[in-house]
Amino acid sequence: MRKNITLGLILSSAMALTTLAVAAPAGQADGTHQGRFSHRHGHGMGFEKLDLTDAQRASIKQIVRSRFAQNKTQWQALRQQRSAFQSMTPDQVGYQAAAASLAQAEADATRVRVQQRATVRAQIYALLTPAQKAQWASIKQEKQARRQQWQQFKAEHPAASSTTPPAQ
């Protein structure tokens, strides 16, 4: 059990660090931050691995900033609603109604987030040259192949700790 928890923590930490990693554009080895894309600016969609022009980077940055600014108040309201619900105790009057309201707000926020991410992705994709679009498709295929290899590995190597008693 501890092995599963430790492995889960390691994998989730690695995934979090990977999504926050910063990729430098081709030819930029001086270590400066100019032109780099973080998960927030590259939007974690693989675009940051393309050899983007400065104009493309500026446009992408503007698209992402605009989306963020549009949603800031909605996300703050959702955060406040979560906080209010978490401060309640299960025996309080209105607890179940607050839970249902929060669940609906979370569902709505997820729907909006998915739709807006698709919109942002389409806007960014429209900025790419045909060569960059082909490279992006190749990156997506490589990512899918790695995902399938990982799934196959997990199927072939089930966690040993699931069949052994937990360490004391």
Instruction: List, for residues 77-119, the tens digit of each pLDDT value.
Output: 999 999 999 999 999 999 999 999 999 999 999 999 999 999 9
Measured distance CA(21)–CA(100) in Å, rounded? 36
Distances (CA, A) of 1 to 5, 7, 143, 151: 6, 10, 30, 21
**Residue 154 one-letter amino acid:** K
Measured distance CA(110)–CA(5) in Å, rounded? 27
pTM (two decimals):
0.57
Q: Domain limits of the chain?
A: 1-20+37-50+135-168, 56-127
Question: What pLDDT is recorded for position 49?
Answer: 78
3-18 average pLDDT score: 43
Q: Is the pLDDT of residue 36 over 80?
A: no
